[in-house]
Structure 1
Amino acid sequence: MSATDLADVEYVVHSLAQTAVDREKEFGDLDAVVGDGDLGYSLARGFEKVLADWDSFKRDDVATFLQQIALAISSRIGGTSGPLWGTAFLRASAAAKTIDAIDGAAVVAMLRGATDGIKARGNADLGDKTLLDALIPATDELERQLQAGASPEECRAEFAKKTRECADATSSLQAKRGRASYSGERSIGSPDAGAVAVAIIVEGIVADWP
């Protein structure tokens, strides 16, 4: 696995972490509409730990690096966010262990690992009004773009576009998981905070791609 592969993964994780910290209030406000409002706080606390420990993470390979991130997040984030995001990074790490190079297919495999982990840990699936409703269709779209021979730039752009479209579309769903599910039908009409947060994170990653 090349140094470029690791550098790309480092960029993605650092961008994600920085966005989570910088947009803490916005993510919290989104979550407060029908949830308990702690999403912004939880993500910011976990990912500021990632940023603080950044130079100490082992970088033997992508799998090891992602495992270190998972441990940092899990040790810091409370509530439901910690286990879910920690599991996502652990599953992505496991997928990376079977990969020789971080190409488009590898990214899809790591994303599939992450979403499968979130499904299992959160007992959630498509249609439950969670971040999965943005991330799974976006991963499907990325795979379609790769199979169609799209360039890396086109793949990233379409992935971000689909993530945003699907995050916004969660407004029509009724929440079935998390604190928002207590709101019942009142959760219809507002997008899922986790899905929107993922869209914002992905848009930032793509916009500033080195």
Structure 2
Amino acid sequence: MTTQSFSDTEFVVRTIAQTAVDNEKAFGDLDSVVGDGDFGFSLARGFEIVLTDWDSYDRSDIGVFLQKIAMVITGRIGGTSGPIWGTAFLRASTVAKGRDELAGPDVVAMLHAAMDGIKARGNAELGDKTLLDALAPMTDTIDEKLGEGQPSEEVVSAAATTARAAADATVGMQARRGRAAYTGERSIGSPDPGAVAVAVILERLAADWASRPRQP
């Protein structure tokens, strides 16, 4: 029988994929301000495949499942987004290796592993105006709320609020990584598309969390 942890993992991954597909134009429009405009297209094309092949992925354990998703993302999402997002999933999968149950600290550890992978693959740090600038504060909020013993609905809601505020804060930053970095000070004044994508995904998770599948 599938555990609640496994079911929740599937729900999160499927929500990420569907949100990427549904927001192809919005994410692309954001990227076109100072980038090449392909962020939305690239993300959508890769995650379309994730959704199409959904039932075929090995579900031996949570780590294996995430690893399979990572391979698809890395191989099928174009540009720099594939390696970055694929590495995030791959690093998270190592924490969940051999597991079909996850506790709150495991989720935080997976997010930290994902961020470490993004930093290494993208040679990025906080403040460089990337998705890290939404992921890091979001992860801190999750860790804080879990430590307070808050129910999962409150944790996800608080994480979404933090991610949105952090994504909005990237408007005042100058990009130091990616194609936007070549525009210098012109990158100031618009949000980072990757950070916005993190916020939109978390907002959708927060909206749908209460109705996610429940295991008996």
TM-score, scaled relative to structure 1 = 0.97
Amino acid at match of 2:8: D
Aligned to 2:184: 184
Q: In the alignment, is residue 56 of structure 1 matched against residue 60 of structure 2?
A: no
Amino acid at match of 1:192: D
How far does residue 101 in structure 1 lie from its aligned partner after superposition? 2.5
Q: Runs (4+) of structure 1 moved beyond 3 Å?
A: none
Tell me, which stretches of 5 or more residues in structure 2 are unaligned? none
Amino acid at match of 2:187: S
Distance in 2 (CA, whole Å) between partners of 1:133 and 1:75 is: 25
SS of residue paired to 2:10: helix
| 1:24-173 equivalence runs, <5 A | 24-97=24-97, 101-173=101-173
Distance in 1 (CA, whole Å) between partners of 2:169 and 2:153 is: 24
RMSD: 1.3
Aligned to 1:12: 12
Tell me, which stretches of 5 or more residues in structure 1 are unaligned? none
Q: Deviations over 1:155-207 (max 9, x none)?
A: 11111110110000001110000000011011111110110011101111121
| Identity value in percent | 63
How far does residue 105 in structure 1 lie from its aligned partner after superposition? 1.1
Report the more deviating stretch, 103-112 or 8-17.
103-112
Report the more deviating stretch, 94-103 or 82-91.
94-103
Q: Aligned pairs, how many?
A: 210
Amino acid at match of 1:78: G
Aligned to 2:198: 198
On the 8 A contact 2:21/2:44 being kept in 1, the answer is yes
On the 8 A contact 1:15/1:204 being kept in 2, the answer is yes
